[in-house]
Chains A and B, each alone.
Chain A
Amino acid sequence: MAMTAVARETVFALRRQIAKIEGTLPERLAAPAGAQSGARPDVDAGPGIAPELTPEIIILRRGLAVASPDAFLRTGIERLDTALSGGLPKAALSEIHGAETRDAGAVAGFALSLTSLILKQEPHLPVLWIGTSEIFREAGFPYARGLHGLFGIEPEQLLFSEAPKLVDALWIAEEAARMTALAAVILEIRGNPQRLDLTATRRLHARAQNAGRPVLLLRQAGEAEPTAAPVRLIVSAAPAASRDTIAGPLAGSIGRPAFTVSIGKSRTALPGQFTLEWNPDEHTFEERRQERATNPVAVVPASGRRTHPAPASGAVLAFPAVGSPAAGDQPSRPQRPAHISPRRAG
């Protein structure tokens, strides 16, 4: 009995070590080991896990999936969160890439959307944006008015740091990454400098882990190369939807910002491409499904009078989204105001 207890202890210690390396909170990891029932829901939640595996093995293999839900920043898009096995890790370095410098607007916009989501939980902390002089010259300096209008970040909450050289930018980032008084640190650089290698990113990642704050590494016009960041997202701009008005979408107008996000690297290694739309009023993401945007289908409301309603024309797939956050992307249909002609029931 004592032997097994010691063995268990060793296993737990090893597991804790693995969890630390993988970036999971060890306290949560230890909890389900005693009570197997506690781990059950996590097993079900984990994507694509064979149910016959015992929970312990799952914990070892998918440390992130069982970690506390606080460890992740949920984007609010179910598919993206699932593909990232729960969301973007909060206490970690995350890379956000843009293919070209001219994508800087979309990349920065996506990073700021994430920051805005973080600020929902930490409303009073400031955000530090570090950039080299080069990137601020090439891609433009962050404009506080626009940031406030779109992401609700107050100017008093913003701190900018412009470093003449990459070495200085990295030093500031390292110093900032270990501060718990910052909601998030954004480090923006251009290209693939030699200095930002595996070691440098590992230092940033380790500090972010210790402080429990996210560090977003924005790389404009950079190639994917090995770094310590657990997640790499590749962001480019997507054509915006038209503005919504009472009379339907306004033709030719430019609506909410939209991004195409693809997962370049993640622990689950599930590929995926998502078109996200940022809602500047609610400060939430909404997903836009490509097939519906390209092939709008008129949805005929089912008649309530007949016992055997006529089958709706078009795919039924489009319909279940009603009531979900994606409902905003429903193709417009002539709307009947409820108060003018109330629908008779029965």
Chain B
Amino acid sequence: MISHRDRNAQRISALDERAEALRLKRGMGIADARAMHPSIDIVEADPEADRRLLEGLADWCDRYTPLVAIDGTDGLFLDVTGCTHLFGGERAMLDEILSRFFHQGFDVRAGLAATPGAAWAAARFCGDRIVAGGEEEALLAPLPLAALRIAPEIRTSLESVGLRTAGAVMAAPRAPLARRFGASLLLRLDQALGRLDEAVSPRLPVAPLSVERHLSEPIMLTADIERLVSLLAKTLKSDLERRGEGARMLALLLFRVDGAVSRIAVGTSRPLREPVLIQKLFHERLAALEQDIDAGYGFDLVRLSVLSAATFDMQQADLAGEAEDNDADIALFADRIRARLGEAAVLRPVAVESHLPERAVATVPFSEAPQRRAPPRQRNNPPATVFPPERPIRLFRSPEPIEVPATEMPEGPPMNFRWRRALYRVARAEGPERIAPEWWRHQPGEEEAPTRDYFRIEDSDGRRYWLYRQGLYGASEVPPRWFMHGVFA
């Protein structure tokens, strides 16, 4: 028995058959139930876990149709239009779904109808019924008002005027009903009867292309999965060729025998359709996920879907049959690294118009970087200034504070400094180069960032560093601080 807290009282929210046999009911207070039967076992409700379970089931139902929607807290809508023949007709499909759920330990009611409203009513009030098109009215007529999916207030007021079944409501004239009970009642009625269309919104976007293979003997080994991926990719290739597209995002769905579904997605930097390359990508991804994928008793359905596709540019191969395409090689290489080590494993610097050194270069993941212009543009034009300011070759992600005991001049470079607990003696220094903060980014409320004076320093061993002093001497009470920001060659 499961309890939940409702209006400051613990009430029964769900109960099993044995509890029902004890004449306990839903919505009864826990205190009352305990008074009647002190030995009952009560568990606190966990809506979060229920939702996760329902989502897991929805994932699993993905094997029947890509259009699966979650209905409330305890129902699933499956839009099986055009899918039933794959399972041998409506009856066979319904039986298969029910028996599979039964073997997984679920007590399921199912209904199949031409409209979502009628199917909902059939599942909840008739149980296991298939309603042919046009029979919705006959189905709904004897059912109570709850079968119409209307709000409880409308239901009670309908009951108060003596309309106790759906059939009675249907027989009543429409205009007074709409005036008295609002448009939602008639909307629900029309939807259930198929006079108005009702869309089931699937919880996952429907893949434009997917191929799958049902297996009579479940597979468990990673090598088998990879082989199957390459088989599926071959099938996919012809579909992609027909559409003139390549996959930008692929997902591999592994349906485990006991209902768990693993979803493995890989992205590609450029449209892809070659089965070998697709298999390589999944090889890396599976290698990275080896610990996370629990094969359990094996997978009995493997599906490869193209989540997003893009136009595939055909390329002319040379006479030797080898297209020299270095960019494609690199894109594939980057994809494989990303598949195994994550999105940020391959980075590409992008120059940003900014004079702040740390903002002047942004590193973005390879897939988001703009494609390289080939060949790289020639820089014949001279630089804007005669001597562009020299920049270090390595920059610390966050400038590291250094201790500067004394400077010769208040605004000058340090004579020696301590960085990472080692003392450095300054042999030569160039500077300062003053870099002011970007005032146009300055928020009105916050304190203005101090200016920085950068110095190129060479220590007594010949190493060159980039230091800066933040703030000015005498500008405020706090003395300026020194930082190490980069290293020169």
**Which residues of chain A have a CB within 8 Å of any CB of chain B?**
102-106, 108-110, 112-113, 123-126, 136-137, 139-147, 149-150, 154-164, 168, 171-172, 175-176, 179-182, 236-240, 252-254, 257-260, 278
Contact = CB atoms under 8 A, between A and B. Distances in A.
A144 B361 contact: yes
B376 A157 contact: yes
Contacts of A240: 458, 462, 464
B345 A163 contact: yes
B349 A160 contact: yes
Given A109-B393, A155-B361, A157-B376, 9 more contacts: A104-B487, A105-B489, A143-B361, A159-B347, A160-B363, A236-B461, A237-B463, A240-B462, A240-B464
Contact of A149 (B374, B388, B422): B388
Given A163-B341, A179-B329, A239 B427 contact: yes
A contact patch SS: mixed
B36 interface: no
Given A143-B394, A240-B462, A254 B428 contact: yes
B441 interface: no
Contacts of A172: 337, 341, 345
Chain B, interface size category, equals 35 or more
Which 7 A-B pairs give the minimum distances between C-beta atoms?
A109-B489, A140-B394, A105-B487, A144-B349, A181-B326, A257-B489, A181-B329
B397 interface: yes
B430 A143 contact: no
B contact patch SS: mixed
Interface string B386-398: 0010111111110
Nearest to B427: A239
Nearest to B456: A254
Interface of B: 326-327, 329-330, 333-334, 336-337, 340-341, 344-351, 357, 360-361, 363, 366, 372-376, 388, 390-397, 422, 427-430, 456, 458, 461-465, 486-489
Contact of A140 (B373, B396, B430): B396
Given A144-B361, A175-B337, A181-B330, A159 B346 contact: yes
B337 A161 contact: yes
Contacts of B422: 102
Contact of A253 (B345, B349, B428): B428
Given A104-B394, A141-B394, A144-B349, A239 B375 contact: no
A144 B489 contact: no
Contact of B395 (A140, A161, A258): A140
A105 B463 contact: yes
B349 A155 contact: yes
Nearest to B393: A146
A176 B486 contact: no
Contacts of B373: 156
A158 B393 contact: no
Contacts of B327: 181
A124 B375 contact: yes
B213 to A, nearest CB: 30
